[in-house]
Structure 1
Amino acid sequence: MGARNPRVTRQHNPALSVAAVAQRLGVAPSTLRTWDRRYGLGPSAHSLGSHRRYSAQDVARLMVMRTWVLKGASGSEAAQAAQELNADELDYVTVERDLDDALSQSGLKPTRLTDTPSGPSASSLPSASSSDPAPSQSATPQDAPEARNTGASISRLRVARSAPETPHQLSYPERCTELVKEALQDNELACTTLLQVDPDDNVIAWWKQLVRPALDRLASHTVLARPGQNPHLLVGNLALSQLRRFTRALDARNPQGSRPHPSRLRNIVLVFAPPNDTLALPAHVLTAALLANNHNAHIIIGPENEHRVTELVTMVRPAAVVFVSTHRAPDLSVIRTLVDVHPDLPTFLGLGPDIDLGELISRPHVSRIRSFTALFHEVAAAAGNRASAPDYWNDNSTQ
């Protein structure tokens, strides 16, 4: 019997329906139609009755796109990654495993193709299910369903087996160096991979050893850029995207059903950033760290005038409030007003060492914490102390 063709080809694999592929990717069928219309990643095979169906090559490309979307890339960036792969470079087993990893890290359950094709047996479609033995490094095309990829473009996108499957094989300082280099080259896909943070990771270490140093280095660079390019904003916005992914994974791991309004929660922490701190990354990181450690925490987004903030704090009745920023000239007007209205409410300030707090530092319930890690521990302790803030609000609720 002749050797099995190692490549993913339409002649050797069944054509699949929209519903089957959507189930495998964990998206709605309408999403696949949108990707087809917007990015040209549609079905290429035809069945009886002229119904368009997905070949194995089509599915492999969509797996690459779905993986990058789950990692935080935009639709156009993910589509570009999928379209850059040549047909003979697609390694079905590898991209399927990458998709399963991305789904699991996002709190989603990987599925398998269940469509019954009218063509050849579905068993001829490669699968990376748990019952399939993992190919060894010395495997021949007869042993492994697909040939291995070694192309440089695939390595850059980290879908080839020869490239690291996750950025965790590098230390944070190593990732930081690579991140700065890729950001200066406006390589958004590589930056997305290097910034990846998972629910089991220490998000504070991710911030202190990777994101913050990279932003500081990029801020010192003078760049000859094209319209729309800004390495500092690129990394900042991608970091926010990773924090959204981090939080969604936490929510999926600890489903709560319907979420009560913050005003109905006890021991909640409100995290503020100065109004002139646009990205407010330290506030987002601190809030994510508190959530990861099972504390109720919300970050305040939007215009922050004194009257609105006072009303919000009175309504929510938090255990503590935090103002944190790396801005060199933060607007402290909201902090001063809040401390005047609620002088006994535990208030933590995580601001730069050169920021002059004036008379704020003399207030008895205002604490300035210079270390980000120490700030987290102090705020977490205040949130876990069920005797402090509730008593404060009970004592002042009738005044």
Structure 2
Amino acid sequence: MDGGVGLSVGAVARRLGVAPSTLRTWGRRYGIGPSRHSAGGHRRYDTTDVARLQLMNQLILDGTPPEEAARKALAAAPEDLPAQPPPQQPEPRPAWGSGGQRLAVTESTPATRALARAAMGMDAVTMQRLIDEALRRDGVVQAWQELFAPVLIGIGERHAETGAIVEIEHLLSGTLLSALAREVATAGPPITARPVVLACAAEEQHSLPVYALAASLAAERIAVRVLGARMPYEALAAAIRHLGPAAVFVWSQTPDTGDPAPLAGLPGGRPRVRLLAGGPGWADDRLPERVHRVGTLPEAIAEVHAAYGHA
């Protein structure tokens, strides 16, 4: 594999479609990591390592809690591991847009192209229609992963390159947030007594992923309480003491808001509260031991199920 030196964490992350920080967390927390080293001493994943991670990732996507998924992947015999796909080659990213504005979207499908065109044209009516259709057709999780997130990432990357299209990002994010909040508000009555509390870290303003998780859980009739952006930790602690939640999810988008130290001071609760940290802002190597790191929407949902004791 790759000249006999194995794959880096970044290369494996691209193959599996997860964040490199997620792979590092899996290795640290569950012992499922690279088994080889390069000549320079860097850790590398061999074919079997990648296959075990591929199996773990698929189990998580199917609803298995990460700890159980890792245990099954590590215990699997080599002949029972999934076959390795050929190395992925980078493909040109088609650009979509209107009025002279173009947007590159990695996951090019008719749906992402349509939403990208509407976003770049600031066509709020069409954006709303496409978002509502995707939610009805695919559900929150699939719509988020296959449509909303790819277009948002494309807009974010374009902004990082040019410093432009902030207005487009704000319009699309606001339209999405309204749609996801409506999904939460119109969901059926919850079947869980203890809710899940969802909030952004103090001073974190990017709340859209919080609403995506809330809408996903509400669709399963899990009680949620969305506290939104820029939640002071003192207020979050008060909410935990008042509500006695089964789980608490805290989102950090940037390192400026991802100081993990305040998480250690949040109440543990009786019965115990499962504390989840999501988003790329957290310093993974400094998260308190009791915090469960989640890297994807399906992984966050699986951790919530684990908080309720669901297999």
TM-superposed deviation, 1:233: 1.0
TM-superposed deviation, 1:291: 0.8
TM-superposed deviation, 1:355: 3.8
The question of whether the paired residues in 1 share the 8 Å contact of 2:194 and 2:246 is answered with: yes
The alignment status of 1:176 with 2:116, answered yes or no, reads no
Q: 2:198 is matched by which residue type in structure 1? A: V
CA distance in 2, matches of 1:315, 1:200: 37
CA distance in 2, matches of 1:293, 1:314: 24
CA distance in 2, matches of 1:248, 1:299: 11
CA distance in 2, matches of 1:303, 1:355: 15
**2:143 corresponds to:** 206
**2:257 corresponds to:** 331
Report the 3-state secondary structure (helix = DSSP H, G, I; strand = E; otherwise coil) of the residue aligned with 1:300.
strand
Q: 1:243 is matched by which residue type in structure 2? A: L
Higher RCO structure, 1 or 2 (CA under 8 Å, sep 6+): 2
Q: Tell me: CA distance 1:223–1:312, structure 2 relative to 1, closer, same or farther (3 Å).
A: closer
The alignment status of 1:370 with 2:267, answered yes or no, reads no
The alignment status of 1:188 with 2:145, answered yes or no, reads no
The alignment status of 1:348 with 2:284, answered yes or no, reads no
The question of whether the paired residues in 2 share the 8 Å contact of 1:271 and 1:322 is answered with: yes
CA distance in 2, matches of 1:302, 1:220: 22
Q: Give the fraction of aligned pairs with identical amino acids, expressed as a percent.
A: 19
Q: Tell me: CA distance 1:323–1:382, structure 2 relative to 1, closer, same or farther (3 Å).
A: same
**Which 5+ residue runs of structure 1 have no aligned equivalent?**
1-170, 257-264, 386-399
The question of whether the paired residues in 2 share the 8 Å contact of 1:310 and 1:338 is answered with: no
**2:216 corresponds to:** 289
The alignment status of 1:307 with 2:234, answered yes or no, reads yes
| Structure 1 residues 145-199: Cα deviation after superposition (integer angstroms, max 9, x where no partner) | xxxxxxxxxxxxxxxxxxxxxxxxxx99321112112211222222122212445
| Structure 1 residues 15-43: Cα deviation after superposition (integer angstroms, max 9, x where no partner) | xxxxxxxxxxxxxxxxxxxxxxxxxxxxx
CA distance in 1, matches of 2:136, 2:307: 23
TM-superposed deviation, 1:255: 5.9
Q: 1:235 is matched by which residue type in structure 2? A: L
Aligned length: 196
Report the 3-state secondary structure (helix = DSSP H, G, I; strand = E; otherwise coil) of the residue aligned with 1:342.
coil
Q: Tell me: CA distance 1:330–1:321, structure 2 relative to 1, closer, same or farther (3 Å).
A: farther
The question of whether the paired residues in 2 share the 8 Å contact of 1:269 and 1:298 is answered with: yes
Q: Tell me: CA distance 1:179–1:308, structure 2 relative to 1, closer, same or farther (3 Å).
A: same
CA distance in 2, matches of 1:337, 1:279: 19
Among 228, 247, 250, the alignment partner of 1:320 is: 247
**2:9 corresponds to:** none
The question of whether the paired residues in 2 share the 8 Å contact of 1:270 and 1:321 is answered with: yes
CA distance in 2, matches of 1:283, 1:330: 18
CA distance in 2, matches of 1:281, 1:297: 15
The question of whether the paired residues in 2 share the 8 Å contact of 1:275 and 1:304 is answered with: yes
The alignment status of 1:232 with 2:169, answered yes or no, reads yes
CA distance in 2, matches of 1:212, 1:267: 29
CA distance in 1, matches of 2:238, 2:293: 24
Q: 2:273 is matched by which residue type in structure 1? A: L
Q: Tell me: CA distance 1:245–1:231, structure 2 relative to 1, closer, same or farther (3 Å).
A: same
Report the 3-state secondary structure (helix = DSSP H, G, I; strand = E; otherwise coil) of the residue aligned with 1:318.
coil
**Which 5+ residue runs of structure 2 have no aligned equivalent?**
1-106
The question of whether the paired residues in 2 share the 8 Å contact of 1:287 and 1:299 is answered with: yes
Q: 1:195 is matched by which residue type in structure 2? A: I
Larger Rg: 1
TM-superposed deviation, 1:332: 3.3
Report the 3-state secondary structure (helix = DSSP H, G, I; strand = E; otherwise coil) of the residue aligned with 2:283.
coil
| Structure 1 residues 211-250: Cα deviation after superposition (integer angstroms, max 9, x where no partner) | 111011112334877xxx7111111111012113323442
CA distance in 2, matches of 1:308, 1:373: 27
Q: Tell me: CA distance 1:330–1:203, structure 2 relative to 1, closer, same or farther (3 Å).
A: farther
| Structure 1 residues 253-294: Cα deviation after superposition (integer angstroms, max 9, x where no partner) | x368xxxxxxxx832111122234324111101011111101
CA distance in 1, matches of 2:115, 2:137: 21
CA distance in 2, matches of 1:213, 1:381: 28
Between Structure 1 and Structure 2, the one with more strand by share is 2
Q: After TM superposition, where is structure 1 displaced by more than 6 Å over at least 4 residues in a row?
A: none
**1:220 corresponds to:** 157
Q: 1:178 is matched by which residue type in structure 2? A: A
RMSD, aligned CA: 2.8
CA distance in 2, matches of 1:371, 1:310: 25
The question of whether the paired residues in 2 share the 8 Å contact of 1:199 and 1:292 is answered with: no
Among 207, 222, 234, the alignment partner of 1:280 is: 207
Q: Tell me: CA distance 1:320–1:312, structure 2 relative to 1, closer, same or farther (3 Å).
A: same
TM-superposed deviation, 1:368: 1.1
CA distance in 1, matches of 2:239, 2:154: 37
Scaled by the length of structure 1, what TM-score is found? 0.44
The question of whether the paired residues in 2 share the 8 Å contact of 1:179 and 1:194 is answered with: yes
